[in-house]
Amino acid sequence: MSRQFTTAIRGDFFDIAACVDHPQQIAEQLRHIPDGLMLLNEGRIVWHGSWRQGKTLPPPGFAVTDYRGKLIVPGFIDMHIHYPQTEMIAAYGEQLLEWLDNYTFPTESRFSCQQHASKISAFFLQQLLSNGTTTALVFGTVHPQSVDVLFTQAAALNMRLIAGKVMMDRHAPPELLETPEQSYRQTRTLIERWHGKQRRSYAITPRFAPTSTPELLAQVQRLLEEFPDVYLQTHLSEDLEEVNWVKALFPDSHNYLDVYHSYGLTGSKSVFAHCLHLEEQEWDCLSQTQSAIAFCPTSNLFLSSGLFNLQKAWQKQVKLGIGTDVGAGTTFNMLQTLGAAYKVSQLQRYRLSAGEAFYHATLGGVHALSLDDKIGNFNVGKEADFVVLNQAVSPLQKLRCDNSNSLADQLFMLMILGDDRNIYRTYVDGRVVYQVATTLTNNLSHKALRRRHIS
């Protein structure tokens, strides 16, 4: 190993060693080091193993940050989220299409003001970090400045973030519409400005088929041809009314996905959110093109869109990650989102284990984004994005934890009972970017914030 390191972290580490093709293989890949050591050189992991093996590596007097009693996991990956919808989370009473008209479009209109965008974007990034999410695939609004401010702020944290300006040219209020040519030019400028700059990547973002004319989709295709390694993100088959509308708008297409596929928008860098009502041919097309799905359980329940078939995704070998889909999703918190994924799966008699759930939220999502060589676990050489979890923060969690005798049980308890209170610290690029507030409770915070240094 490289003897050079700047940070040493001791604690209880849990991650998943390698990507898998079947859920049954996950158990073999779970890696738990109850008393471990991780050495970082700036933002990179240079050594990871047991404390017993590694304790002589830090020289005498070197400060080791001691998180014993807490659980350290890779940073969570949010595969689908709309930052401009942060302020309209929990909007009452509608299903997808009315929800868009009544709440979403008016809220997104406010992002023509850069100051507003900047304020919400800063709040949004703090929400991600205080929930342990270190990488996200993010929708902006149609306004290019919405993405500029988000990337600028993510760059200040050196966060690995993928985002794009929404493209849409019909079926939305006039102030949110653009021409296909304008959409192309503005997106092109943003790609050139942000894509591949340190840890930022661009995602071409046609909102969904109903807000896209064939001319707009042709411009999206043109951009993808010009920039083949950028991402593409959009929505697919979320709501039955939406699916029928797409069939009416694109009568020549075989199915909803075929609208995108016929413009070359499927592929290994494409992420389709929801995918609740897919036909067999659409599953096959996603699989054959190595496209990925963002499973957004709290959103699907909130808008009563439907139940995602996780088992089918495995059967069809379609790559997948978990999205919160805020503001249709009801939380930024990945633990709560995994809890919802469990319930959605239970309703279909598929048992989502804690190991599988954490896989989707970390290495699995990373694999779906083709970032496996960079993040997702604690392998040497990976970028140091991780979360320090407090396993029990409430009296109920403590009681339940005391009654737990395996890591699998503790992880499952966390995804059913856990929330942002369980996020003790978040690291991005090897640095603390969030730590639990001292005001939580006097008792808890003083103890919780005490940092022990061991030499």
Residues in contact with Zn ion by CB under 5 A are 273, 325
Q: Taking CB under 6 A as the rule, does residue 235 contact ligand GUN? A: yes
Residue 104 touches which member of ligand GUN, Zn ion, none, C-beta under 5-8 Å by kind: ligand GUN
Q: Which is nearer to ligand GUN, 82 or 277 (CB)?
A: 82
Cβ at position 97, least distance to ligand GUN in Å = 9
Among 148, 169, 325, 385, binds ligand GUN (CB under 6 A): 325
Q: In the structure encoding, which two tokens stand for residue 113, read together? A: 């003001």
Note whether 238 binds ligand GUN by CB under 6 A: yes
The partner in contact with residue 425, picked from ligand GUN, Zn ion, none with C-beta cut-offs of 5 to 8 angstroms by kind, is none
- Partner from Zn ion, ligand GUN, none contacting 7, C-beta within 5 to 8 A by type: none
Task: Write a three-state SS string for the chain.
Answer: CCCCCCEEEEEEEEEECCCCCCHHHHHHHEEEEEEEEEEEECCEEEEEEEHHHHCCCCCCCCCEEEEEEEEEEECEEEEEEEHHHHHHCCCCCCCHHHHHHHHHHHHHHHHHCHHHHHHHHHHHHHHHHHCCEEEEEEECCCCHHHHHHHHHHHHHHCCEEEEECEECCCCCCHHHCCCHHHHHHHHHHHHHHHCCECCEEEEEEECCHHHCCHHHHHHHHHHHHHCCCCEEEEEECCCHHHHHHHHHHCCCCCCHHHHHHCCCCCCCCEEEEECCCCCHHHHHHHHHCCCEEEECHHHHHHCCCCCCCHHHHHHCCCEEEECCCCCCCCCCCHHHHHHHHHHHHHCCCCCCCHHHHHHHHHHHHHHHCCCCCCCCCCCCCCECCEEEECCCCCHHHHHHHHCCCCHHHHHHHHHHHCCHHHEEEEEECCEEEEECCCCCCHHHHHHHHCCEEEC
Nearer to ligand GUN, 8 or 168 (CB): 168
Does residue 299 bind ligand GUN (CB under 6 A)? yes
Spatial separation of the C-alpha atoms in residues 419 and 335, rounded to whole Å:
6
By CB under 6 A, residue 65 contacts ligand GUN:
no
What would the x/- binding string for ligand GUN be over residues 172 to 211, using CB under 6 A? -----------------------------------xx---
Find which of ligand GUN, Zn ion, none residue 163 binds, CB within 5 to 8 Å per kind: none
Question: How far is CA 56 from its chain centroid?
Answer: 37
Minimum Å gap between C-beta 243 and ligand GUN is 12
- In terms of Cα–Cα distance, which of 267, 386, 365, 325 is closest to 138? 325
Report the partner that residue 10 touches, choosing among ligand GUN, Zn ion, none (CB closer than 5 to 8 A by kind): none
Our CB check for ligand GUN shows the closer of 265 and 388 to be 265
State which residue, 13 or 99, has the beta carbon closest to ligand GUN.
99
Q: Which is nearer to ligand GUN, 235 or 360 (CB)?
A: 235
Least distance to ligand GUN from the beta carbon of 370, Å? 24
Stretch that binds ligand GUN, among 96-104, 112-120, 171-179, 346-354 (CB under 6 A): 96-104
Under the criterion CB under 6 A, does residue 143 sit at the interface with ligand GUN? no
Nearer to Zn ion, 37 or 273 (CB): 273
The verdict on 88 binding ligand GUN (CB under 6 A) reads: no
Q: Whole-number minimum distance, CB 270 to ligand GUN, in Å?
A: 16
Whichever of 58 and 84 has its CB closer to ligand GUN, that residue is 84
Q: How many residues bind ligand GUN (CB under 6 A)?
A: 11
Residue 328 touching ligand GUN (CB under 6 A): yes
Q: Which of 15, 20, 37, 104 binds ligand GUN (CB under 6 A)?
A: 104
Residues at the interface with ligand GUN (CB under 6 A):
82, 96, 100, 104, 207-208, 235, 238, 299, 325, 328
